[in-house]
């Protein structure tokens, strides 16, 4: 089983880079809500134990690690809205959120480790992409946790504004109860209209 480590950061530091940001996003697949990215600059002397892909952690463990990350690391969050997802597509919106997260750090990083296999357009700093990085690289693992917690909070808030869709538990993903709510309650402004189940609801014959 893969366990995230600091080897990618060590290689970057050996090349002279000091402010190394891990970047990950969450929310590509949901039918509703923004896509959210986090950039995290870890202190190599204060790395929380047990960092891993946020999807592999229990909610309790994820929340604990998120609190530890906030105590010892520098973080920044970037979002891309539903309108932006519809305008430029989900992949480019995910990359836009990543760029915004990096740009939001209090001081610019000099190197970025990004989950996936594509460098976001417009990113003007040395970068390495890491496929499956949230399960391999502790900085990206930390970013995956922070992004997940942040987006979940957004969806909990939206769930209070639009009860009945189950966003407080499905976080906007296309669960059976969410699909049923779409059919019964209709489409909200926070739904992604280009995504198939929502599109079918709007344009069914």
Q: Flag whether 126 is in a domain.
A: yes
Residue 40 near residue 22 (C-beta atoms within 8 A): yes
Q: Flag whether 17 is in a domain.
A: yes
3-state secondary structure 141-167: HHHHHHHHHHHHHHHHHHHHHCCCCCH
Strand (E) or helix (H) holding 38: strand 35-41
> How many structural domains comprise the chain?
1
Q: Flag whether 13 is in a domain.
A: yes
Q: Flag whether 202 is in a domain.
A: no
Q: Flag whether 186 is in a domain.
A: no
For the segment 86-99, the average pLDDT, to the nearest whole number, is 97
Q: Flag whether 53 is in a domain.
A: yes
Q: What is this structure's pTM? A: 0.95
- Residues annotated within the binding site for a divalent metal cation are 24-25, 115
pLDDT of 205 > 60? The answer is no
- Residues annotated within the binding site are 24-25, 115
Encode pLDDT of 19-58 as tens digits: 999 999 999 999 999 999 999 999 999 999 999 999 999 9
Q: Flag whether 178 is in a domain.
A: no
Q: Flag whether 158 is in a domain.
A: no
CATH value at residue 141: 3.30.420.10
Helices 196-203 & 176-185 angle (0-180, nearest 10)? 20
Encode pLDDT of 110-125 as tens digits: 999 999 999 998 898 9
Q: Which of 79, 80, 75, 127 is nearest to 105 (CA)?
A: 75
For the segment 68-96, the average pLDDT, to the nearest whole number, is 97
Domain that holds residue 117: 7-150
């Amino acid at each position: 089983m893969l366990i995230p480590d600091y080897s990618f950061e060590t290689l970057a530091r050996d090349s002279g880079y000091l402010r190394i940001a891990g970047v990950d996003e969450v929310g590509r697949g949901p039918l509703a809500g923004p896509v959210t990215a986090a950039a995290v600059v870890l202190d190599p002397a204060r790395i929380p134990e047990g960092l891993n892909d946020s999807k592999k952690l229990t909610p309790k463990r994820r929340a604990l690690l998120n609190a530890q990350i906030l105590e010892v690391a520098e973080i920044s969050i970037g979002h891309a809205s539903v309108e932006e997802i519809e305008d430029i597509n989900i992949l480019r919106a995910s990359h836009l959120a990543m760029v915004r997260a990096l740009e939001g750090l209090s001081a610019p990083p000099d190197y970025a480790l990004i989950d996936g296999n594509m460098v976001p357009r417009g990113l003007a700093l040395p970068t390495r992409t890491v496929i499956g990085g949230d399960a391999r690289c502790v900085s990206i693992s930390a970013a995956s946790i922070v992004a997940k917690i942040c987006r979940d909070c957004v969806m909990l808030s939206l769930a209070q504004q639009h009860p009945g869709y189950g966003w407080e538990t499905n976080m906007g993903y296309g669960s059976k109860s969410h699909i049923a709510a779409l059919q019964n309650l209709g489409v909200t402004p926070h739904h992604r209209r280009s995504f198939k189940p929502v599109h079918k609801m709007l344009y069914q014959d």
